[in-house]
């Protein structure tokens, strides 16, 4: 079965610092990749997604992620974080299987705290 690893469980940054959150997955076939964000007290929201094409995808709120197929990675980045980016971030993978399917496998999440 596929798995998703997020190596950073807790990250603390100062405002304006750059952010990179790691995500690796273990599936050899074609995948769709996602980053979700969960702000305190709120539900999961889609931050960005990759299906095909340009491996560098841009999402909402200045986030971007780069798919590196050879490394099975989909790291999330933001050049300059804001206090309002404090949230939990989840990487998720949807393997493209014969016969379809829309199942997401989530990583364990990274809790980001941005300090003023």
Residues near another protein, by CB under 8 A:
4, 9, 32, 36, 42-46, 49, 51-52, 90, 94, 102-109
Q: Residue 94 Cβ, how far from another protein at the closest point, in Å?
A: 7
Nearer to another protein, 2 or 73 (CB): 2
Q: Residue 84 Cβ, how far from another protein at the closest point, in Å?
A: 19
Nearer to another protein, 23 or 114 (CB): 23
Is residue 17 exposed (0-12), middle (13-18) or buried (19+ Cβ within 10 Å)?
middle
DSSP 70: G
DSSP 14: E
Q: Residue 108 Cβ, how far from another protein at the closest point, in Å?
A: 5
Q: Residue 51 Cβ, how far from another protein at the closest point, in Å?
A: 6
Nearer to another protein, 16 or 46 (CB): 46
Q: Buried b / exposed e across 42-78, counting CB within 10 Å, b at 16+? A: eeeeebbbbeeeeeebebeeebbbbbeeeebbbbbeb
């Amino acid at each position: 079965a596929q798995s998703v690893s997020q190596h950073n469980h807790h990250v603390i940054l100062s405002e304006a610092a750059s952010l990179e959150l790691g995500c690796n997955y273990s599936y050899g076939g074609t995948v769709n990749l996602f980053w979700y964000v969960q702000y305190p007290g709120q539900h999961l929201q889609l931050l960005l997604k990759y299906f095909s094409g340009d491996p560098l995808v841009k999402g909402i709120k200045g986030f971007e992620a780069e798919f590196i197929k050879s490394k099975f990675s989909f790291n999330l980045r933001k050049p300059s974080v804001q206090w309002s980016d404090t949230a939990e971030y989840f990487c998720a993978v949807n393997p493209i299987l014969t016969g379809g399917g829309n199942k997401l496998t989530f990583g364990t999440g990274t809790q980001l705290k941005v300090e003023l």
